[in-house]
Amino acid sequence: MSRQPRVLYLAFFFPPSRASGVFRPLAVANHLAASGWEVTVHTGPINYFTDFLGSVDTSLESRVDPRIRVVRPPMTLPGTAPDIRDYNVVRAHFPTLWNKGKKFLDARGFPEQYRSWIPNVLKAALRDHTRRRFDLVIATGNPFAAFAGAWAFGKLTGTPYVLDYRDAWTFHQFLEEVRYPPGHSAWRWEKRTVEGAAEVEFVNRNMLEWYAERYPKAAPRMTVVPNGFDPTDVPRISPPPDEGAPLRYVYLGTVTETMPIEELMEAWRRLRRRPGYADATLTIYGHLGFRPWNIEPLLARIHDGEEGIRYAGPVAKADVTGVYAEADVLLLWLPGGRYVTSGKVFEYMATGLPIASVHQTGIAAADVLDGYPAWEHPSSLDPADITEVLARSGQAAREMTVADREAAREHALRYSRTAILTPWEARMRTIAGV
């Protein structure tokens, strides 16, 4: 009988964290467990999500395969400091000098606030490895302390590791510019981790090409592993709205300050002045920003309570199906450009509903939507163009039959988690030598 393969999965954001980056590692870990792997996930300390971020969705914990072992190595919470009585002489009496020295060293060490997590990950993982070895390490970022942990563990034990770029590290995919100046330690860390990896994965082709150009030595080992959807998260095909009923537009996701908010608000105002759309509603589900202080400014910008707009708050993952069931049109409202792929786009397509895009042209998500028969997208972010997209999507919602929606859903099936992760898991076995 062959030995069960063993994988160490470094995923800082994991349930009960509600971060958008949770769903990909959750799906991957579950798929590995279901495919016969013994899975150990190292994730962030629970107090980081509950006390520091205040960002949890406890319903996600029930979705973790019970065969998965979850370990939470400690770390120093960002912005916290030890008791002043524990300060050394320099820090206590010369705080300005101490801060300058710390900034200098931080720029040359691992350049991330999560770096205190790395030694604790290594300590726990090496202890585990000596009892029964791991065959493979997979690290998903951000944060990229996971990449450093995978690299260090690989150096110490010879275990192959795989890097999964959910987000770019040294490149800001929303602003399309590099994050760090030349000579910054982030470039050195990224180079050593990428070039040492057995496989480097990206969520879209544009991001892969940017990295392949910068790190050509690792380019042959780079591949695209798109996000996907779980069929259980998507309701059965719903019938078109009743004739004369108000059209229900829905957005589901985090609202951030970099999204085209004012453009959508103006387009929505114009739409409501058109015949047949005066009573249309726009319901926004999800969190406002990533920090508590983001809420009020964003709430003011989305005009909650005006022109049929309602902010309905965050939705537990267990309740997402109900949100889709109440929609006639789904808004794909995104920041950034060609390097951005939303995780929600896959679920959106699986509903078979009309999708109205509100984002820049050339965005990576458009590659996924190409061929979806109920997709409307603007030629620019001019409110007039967005208004036309909203109007066409509303018309499609009234005209599409159940059969039309079933046909639209077929386009999404190639992006089911099973379709994406089955060949991926086979590659992981090859890399692990099992």
Between residues 410 and 131, the one the model is more confident about = 131
Between residues 236 and 92, the one the model is more confident about = 236
End-to-end Cα spacing for the chain: 12
392-431 pLDDT per residue, tens: 999 999 999 989 988 888 888 888 889 999 999 999 999 9
Cβ–Cβ under 8 Å, residues 190 and 170: yes
Cβ–Cβ under 8 Å, residues 70 and 64: yes
Taking alpha carbons only, the member of 275, 284, 272, 270 closest to residue 244 is 275
237-292 pLDDT per residue, tens: 777 788 889 999 999 998 988 899 999 999 999 999 999 999 999 999 998 887 77
User: What CATH code is assigned to 231-414?
Assistant: 3.40.50.2000
Topology given in CATH for the domain delimited by 6-81+112-227+416-432: Rossmann fold (3.40.50)
Cβ–Cβ under 8 Å, residues 14 and 70: yes
pTM of the entire predicted model: 0.82
Mean pLDDT across the chain: 89
Band (pLDDT 50/70/90 cuts) for residue 105 is very low
Taking alpha carbons only, the member of 274, 259, 417, 250 closest to residue 343 is 417
In this chain, the answer to whether the domains covering 6-81+112-227+416-432 and 231-414 adopt an identical fold is: yes
CA-based Rg of the chain, rounded to a whole angstrom? 23
Q: Is it true that the peptide bond before 143 is cis, omega within 30 degrees of 0?
A: yes
Band (pLDDT 50/70/90 cuts) for residue 108 is low
Locate the domains of the chain by residue range. Answer: 6-81+112-227+416-432, 231-414
186-216 pLDDT per residue, tens: 999 999 999 999 999 999 999 999 999 999 9
Report pLDDT for 85: 53
User: What 3-state DSSP class applies to 172?
Assistant: strand
Taking alpha carbons only, the member of 110, 111, 13, 82 closest to residue 53 is 13
- Cα separation, 139 vs 147, whole angstroms: 6
